[in-house]
Amino acid sequence: MRIVILTGAGVSAESGLGTFRDKDGLWTRYDLAEVATPEGFARDPAKVHDFYNARRANAQSATHNAAHAALCRLQASAHDVMLVTQNVDSLHEQAGSRDVVHMHGALSGALCARCGDRWTAPLAMSPTDLCPSCAAPATRPDIVWFGEMPYHMDAIHAALLDADLFVAIGTSGTVYPAAGFVDIADGAGADTLELNLEPSEARSAFADARYGPASEIVPAWVD
């Protein structure tokens, strides 16, 4: 069976990494226009670096949970699985997953806004860091902000059109284009399943759903 999995912040919540839109989520404490847009970065790069430096430090001390481990087992099964994540942490990789498609980038990456070079991010980035290729002081986290094109969209789109099953796990279904994947897969004839703590905004688009903490419902579904 060809399966496309889409994970969101809910899959890492039980690893201690905050979600965005839950009642104590990141967007209740930070203004997303200030820290997650190219315009916010242009206005105050130090503030944006502080935000991502803190999250990078949190993510580095986090440990994957039973949901990440179950998805790794699914990848090792006979099924053909594309694991797409909106998360910028590396907990799928820490659990052993390979070829994870990071559509919103990764905290572990640095990007030169001038020449486009990419390299491994240091634990703490600053506006005075120079690009190792072009020496411009234009380094930024390799993260997809609002208004920017998510990564690997052609490969994801092709997999959705070819999928037998699409499963969204721990995502609120509010951020596009990821929120539209269920409609693409459904339109191409795939079965669709939502696994979440509670019904998301996109619940009605899914044929089936199971609710509870990811660390319980994902292993129960996989095994």
Binding residues for NAD(+): 8-27, 86-89, 170-172, 196-198, 214
User: Does 104 participate in catalysis according to the annotation?
Assistant: yes
Tokens representing residue 1 in the block:
């069976």
Q: How far is CA 208 from the centre of its chain?
A: 22
Q: Of 50, 175, 209, 219, which one interacts with ligand BJW (CB under 6 A)?
A: 175
Nearest position to ligand BJW, beta carbon: 10
Q: Quick one: 36 or 83, whose CB is closer to ligand BJW?
A: 36
From 76-84, 92-100, 154-162, 191-199, give the range in contact with ligand BJW by CB under 6 A: 191-199
Tokens representing residue 6 in the block:
């889409």
Query: Does residue 21 touch ligand BJW according to CB under 6 A?
Result: yes
Query: Does residue 70 touch ligand BJW according to CB under 6 A?
Result: no
Tell me the CA distances in angstroms from 63 to 5, 60, 150, one per residue in order: 21, 8, 26
Phi, psi of 124 (to 5 degrees): -120, 120
Q: Of 16, 122, 132, 177, which one interacts with ligand BJW (CB under 6 A)?
A: 177
Range 79-118, binding ligand BJW (CB under 6 A): 86, 88, 104
Point out the residues that are catalytic: 104
Task: Give the footprint of ligand BJW on this chain (CB under 6 A).
Answer: 8-10, 13-14, 19-22, 25, 36, 86, 88, 104, 143-150, 170-172, 174-177, 196-198, 200, 213-214
